[in-house]
Amino acid sequence: MLRSFRQVFKSNRTPMAAVMIIVLLGLVAYLAPTGGAVSADTVVARVYGHEVLMRELAEHMQELYQRYGKQASPETLKPFVQSQALRDLMNQKLMEELAERHRVVVTDEEVGTRLRAFLRQYPVLLDTNGNLKTNIELKQIFQETGFNPAIQERGLRSELLRTKLVQQAALQIPVDEAWIAQENRLRNEKVAFQQATLAVEPSAVADPGDATLEAFYKAGGERFLQPPRRIIQFVTVDRAALAKEIQPDDAALKAAFEARKGDSAEFKARHILFKAEGEAQVQEATAKAQLLRERLVKGQDFAKAAEELSEDPSAKGKGGDLGWFNAAKMVKPFADAAAILKPGEISQPVRTQFGVHLIKLEGRREKTFEDMKADLAREIADTRFNTRAQERLEQIRKRANGGDLAAAAKSLGSSALLSQAFSNEPSAQTPGLPELTQILSEAFRLKVGDVSKPMPFPDRHLLFRVQEELPEAVPPFREIRTKVLAAYQLEEGRKLAVAKAQQALNNAGLQAVGPVTDQAAAPLSGLRDLIANPAIRKALLDTPVGQTTPVLWTQEGKLWVARVTSREPASALTFETRRSLIQDLQTTEAQKLLSAELQSLDQQGRLRPGFSSLWGHFGGIYVNASAAQVSVEE
């Protein structure tokens, strides 16, 4: 067969070449990142070949808006909602990939059964016999209420996948007698004790001088071993460097004022809100608002009615008072309705995404040019600074052309500096670079010699080039003397604390260690923070009544000691309680394993984002950053 194929290929070289080119172009088109116009079918992310489409992102954002949207304006929430929605969908695709790897399948029938059970919870969806209404009737109700069954179905499928994965993993976890016995005691044995803690005070330990510290440093071995560190060359542009260019003159300020005249009007109002979701509730809320408005127009006190009837929690205690606000701070339908009222007037019912409002305008005022001048100057200066700082750094970046930044920076009136070496740790610091924690991940993501994009910060903008990477090593003593001193003081402080606690226990008992607190008789499983420390957990289980536990260290770095005052043993396990306990232990451990496996899968995938490459399609995680940031209709 292979020989036949070769013969055909040789005799039809031109047609076969054309076919291969078409196939190759199609493959490239499929693999290439999405560009141009964004549609509902645009791929926002691809997780091991599982695609997240723009329509899915928009649908999930709608779902999150319904969950969070009444706490703030949609524009304020959008960055959070968009990020959360994308993260949720990508996690869901990771779950699907993991399920495929473990050969776990959720059938449409299983999802359908769960969906029907969910829908049966709502009487409005049932007929007189208690069965779900017809598909036509259900579709009409879904349209009226804004309920999207596809979103619910997707969530149920993901939930079923997770449940099956956990169940599969749980069966692989062995539970022995010692584990069962200990867990039964933790959950059911009641222990009462008195406890005291003693804090370590490293600052009380004096600096012993270089000789002692150097000996401590040499004896420390790998204690002071530092991971690979990097040095970056960086250029910054701050406001002072652009002071003359960014300050607006009176002409620019007056032009901005004219353009913003619509924002100069401020209103003082009260409102009453009737919450509503879907057309049926909106109609009901509108009817209630209309009836109430008739009473308010006839003289009923608006503030009192807001206290009694408004469903906006912020109205309580304030009579629905919103204070002074401009149109930009309110959703458009509300702002438009307030703008056409005269002081003392009450609006017709106004519908927003929060429900139906009645608005009473109490005052109106216009800001003058002088009122807005300072704010306008600040806004214009901020905009100019951000634009011009980015432009200058981009020019430096282009002139450097991937090489040393110093000459390019100097040609544009800036200077390039070298940082001290720093590691990829959250606590990393280096003089002259307060933004380090914010650029840390990028500084280690880029290769040596790579130049970053210009990065904006509140007080200055920054561009950097990865200059050098230092290998894992123990730095010279002089370079890390401060770190060596801190380690020495902590170690000596801990020794002093242990000696102090032991002496106090021997001489005067528990109360001499520190303030004593009583823990009433209760299962130890309720003291999660305390028993998370294995040594403390074991001490509380093993120490006899009336005796004191060993002096131990808490996770917060304090010395801890306790005296057990009473113990009520756990009841013996029955067959059912034993089986339930084993299942619970297996499920808990399986959930931990599943979370760890998902995290590992996520980390591995992000190392290969693709181009989006063939690997990026089937063996990695690709995010279409430009599409993910496109505005999605609320």
pLDDT of residue 550: 95
* Number of domains, the chain: 5
Residue 541 lies in a domain: yes
What CATH number is given to the structural domain containing 614?
1.10.4030.10
What Cα–Cα distance (Å) separates residue 395 from each residue in 278, 302, 452, 627?
53, 60, 13, 27
Residue 431 lies in a domain: yes
306: containing domain = 265-366
Cα 394-400-405 angle, rounded to 5 deg:
90
Residue 550 lies in a domain: yes
Residue 258 lies in a domain: no
Residue 506 lies in a domain: yes
276 lies in the same domain as 151 = no
Q: Which of 366, 382, 413 is the last residue of a domain?
A: 366
Strand 621-623 to 416-418 pairing:
unpaired
What CATH number is given to the structural domain containing 448?
3.10.50
pLDDT of residue 155: 85
558 lies in the same domain as 533 = yes
61 lies in the same domain as 130 = yes
493 lies in the same domain as 461 = no
Residue 587 lies in a domain: no
36 lies in the same domain as 138 = yes
Taking 70 as the pLDDT cut, the residues of the chain under it are 1-38, 66-77, 260-264, 315, 371, 609-618, 625-634
317 lies in the same domain as 284 = yes
272 lies in the same domain as 361 = yes
378 lies in the same domain as 361 = no
In this prediction the pTM is 0.57
Tokens linked to 94: 């990771």
63 lies in the same domain as 154 = yes
Tokens linked to 383: 């905009």
What CATH number is given to the structural domain containing 355?
3.10.50.40
H or E element in which residue 598 lies: helix 575-606
- Per DSSP, helices labelled H in 298-368 are 302-309, 332-339
Q: What does the chain come to in residues?
A: 634
Q: Which of 427, 443, 473 is the last residue of a domain?
A: 473
Residue 573 lies in a domain: no
453-472 in b/e form (b: 16+ CB < 10 A) is ebbeeeebbbbbbbbeeeee
pLDDT of residue 16: 46
393 lies in the same domain as 465 = yes
Peptide bond into 310 cis (omega under 30): no
Which residues lie closer than 8 Å to 60 by C-beta, 6 or more apart? Answer: 85, 88, 89, 151
CA-wise closest residue to 272 among 298, 303, 317: 303
456 lies in the same domain as 535 = no
Which amino acid, 187?
R
pLDDT of residue 221: 79
The answer to whether the beta carbons of residues 302 and 289 sit under 8 Å apart is no
Please spell the DSSP secondary structure of 103-154, one letter per residue.
T----HHHHHHHHHHHHTT-GGGB-TTSSBPPHHHHHHHHHHHT--HHHHHH
Q: How far apart are CA 599 and CA 597, in angstroms?
A: 5
Q: How far apart are CA 238 and CA 462, in angstroms?
A: 9
The answer to whether the beta carbons of residues 386 and 394 sit under 8 Å apart is no
241 lies in the same domain as 303 = no
Which amino acid, 507?
N
Residue 589 lies in a domain: no
Q: How far apart are CA 535 and CA 550, in angstroms?
A: 9
